[in-house]
Amino acid sequence: MRILGIESSCDETGVAIYDDAQGLVSHALHSQIAMHAEYGGVVPELASRDHIKRVIPLVNKVLNDSDTKMSDLCAIAYTRGPGLIGALMVGAMAARSLAYALDIPAVGVHHMEGHLLAPMLEDNPPSFPFVALLVSGGHTMLIKVMQPGLYELLGQSVDDAAGEAFDKTAKLLGLAYPGGPALEKMAQKGDPKAYHFPRPMLDRPNCDFSFAGLKTAVLNATMQTGNIDEHKYNIARCFSDAVVDTLKAKCTRALDMSGLNRLVVAGGVSANIAIRNALDEMMQKRGGEAFFARREFCTDNGAMIALAGMLRFKAGDVQDNLELDVVPRWPLTELKAL
């Protein structure tokens, strides 16, 4: 069986085909970064209009690349939420229209469940149960995952997510949008002892995150040092180290609380090499194992939606009616267990 997955929650249009026997057989992605860079962030109306232009050509591309006919598809999966409502509507309308025309089910997928399951696309997928760290521009969450759909929230960001902190710090350092990847490169040249930035909420007996205070500390440092490259490199490095230390400490607490020793790390910020290396080393020292999606599947993509959609399709969690509904705000814990 083959399923088509469509991702359109924010500023990437992703389409993929997943086969339940062969795995991922085709995927394509269009990023809107260049378009939004002029404005220093995502412009929702522009994002929606660009999704409209891209989605059907990308559908045709993945079908051709995988030698798949429309009649070969068992279902159409799409990102139902959370995300920008206009962007979500584009993917939902395309998916529901195709499903209706082909007389097959549509499957509404939770965007964060897609990220959480993305490491399942790798040759060495994690087995259940595990603790998942979802770390992206909009979310920083620790979740106990017993099985697909059965999620217990252990902790989350109470203000800025880690990805927001990266982008805002990059902007303070004069880096162009999106600043996270550029800040990662800059940090490699910095002195880790130049500054001591706070590791927020480590004294709290929970797994919640807060990065607003760290961002303020970076702001104060940039105001004091001025526009000098050496200081920027040092600030970037010390900021990065503070985020890494915070994530390590909270993951350790979540693993101890849950009694588990498998850690899945997903979301856009999980592409950061310093974070990947630190969490991988931490798990090796614990005698456990860390699992990551390949870097191209850390950001939004159709492959993760197709995979999650296949799991839900096979469990019977499908939409056969014509109601078009998207959920811009959708707690992960509200999903049905499979």
Q: Which domain CATH number covers 12?
A: 3.30.420.40
Is there a domain that residue 48 lies in?
yes
Q: φ and ψ at 159, to 5 degrees?
A: -145, -115
With a cut of 80, say whether residue 321 has pLDDT above it.
no
List the strands of the sheet with 73-81, edge to edge: 23-31, 12-19, 2-7, 73-81, 106-110
- What percent of the chain clears pLDDT 70, i.e. is strictly above it? 100
Q: How confident is the model at residue 149 (pLDDT cuts 50, 70, 90)?
A: very high
State residue 92's pLDDT score. 98
pLDDT in tens, 66-107: 999 999 999 999 999 999 999 999 999 999 999 999 999 999
Whether the Cβ atoms of residue 309 and residue 3 lie closer than 8 Å to each other: yes
Question: Does residue 104 sit in the same domain as residue 160?
Answer: no
Domain tally for the chain? 2
Whether the Cβ atoms of residue 77 and residue 4 lie closer than 8 Å to each other: yes
The mean pLDDT of 249-277, rounded to a whole number, is 97
Rounded Cα distance between 307 and 57, Å, is: 21
Question: Does residue 282 sit in the same domain as residue 148?
Answer: yes
State residue 237's pLDDT score. 97
Q: How confident is the model at residue 138 (pLDDT cuts 50, 70, 90)?
A: confident
Question: Does residue 147 sit in the same domain as residue 282?
Answer: yes
Q: Is 167 annotated as a binding residue?
A: yes
The β-bridge relationship of strands 262-266 and 130-135 is parallel
State residue 231's pLDDT score. 94
pLDDT in tens, 280-299: 999 999 999 999 999 999 99
Rounded Cα distance between 124 and 152, Å, is: 24
Q: Is 139 annotated as a binding residue?
A: no
Whether the Cβ atoms of residue 182 and residue 170 lie closer than 8 Å to each other: yes
State residue 171's pLDDT score. 92
State residue 104's pLDDT score. 96
Question: Does residue 143 sit in the same domain as residue 265?
Answer: yes
Residue 16 structural domain: 2-117+298-334
* Least-confidence region, from 78-82, 173-177, 244-248, 257-261: 173-177
State residue 179's pLDDT score. 86
Q: Is 277 annotated as a binding residue?
A: no
Question: Does residue 288 sit in the same domain as residue 139?
Answer: yes
Question: Does residue 109 sit in the same domain as residue 251?
Answer: no
Question: Does residue 315 sit in the same domain as residue 218?
Answer: no
State residue 228's pLDDT score. 82
The mean pLDDT of 297-306, rounded to a whole number, is 97
In DSSP notation, 84-138 reads: -HHHHHHHHHHHHHHHHHHT--EEEEEHHHHHHHGGGGSSSPPPSSEEEEEESSS
Q: Is 180 annotated as a binding residue?
A: yes
Q: Is 5 annotated as a binding residue?
A: no
Whether the Cβ atoms of residue 301 and residue 169 lie closer than 8 Å to each other: no
Question: Does residue 137 sit in the same domain as residue 61?
Answer: no
Whether the Cβ atoms of residue 272 and residue 239 lie closer than 8 Å to each other: no
What is this structure's pTM?
0.95
Question: Does residue 139 sit in the same domain as residue 282?
Answer: yes
For helices 212-225 and 162-172, the axis angle rounded to 10 degrees is 10
Q: Is 300 annotated as a binding residue?
A: yes
Q: Is 272 annotated as a binding residue?
A: yes
Q: Is 115 annotated as a binding residue?
A: yes
Question: Does residue 278 sit in the same domain as residue 158?
Answer: yes
Residue 185 vs residue 322, higher pLDDT: 185
Is there a domain that residue 309 lies in?
yes
With a cut of 80, say whether residue 163 has pLDDT above it.
yes
Q: Is 135 annotated as a binding residue?
A: yes
Q: How confident is the model at residue 209 (pLDDT cuts 50, 70, 90)?
A: very high
Q: How confident is the model at residue 322 (pLDDT cuts 50, 70, 90)?
A: confident
83 three-class SS? coil
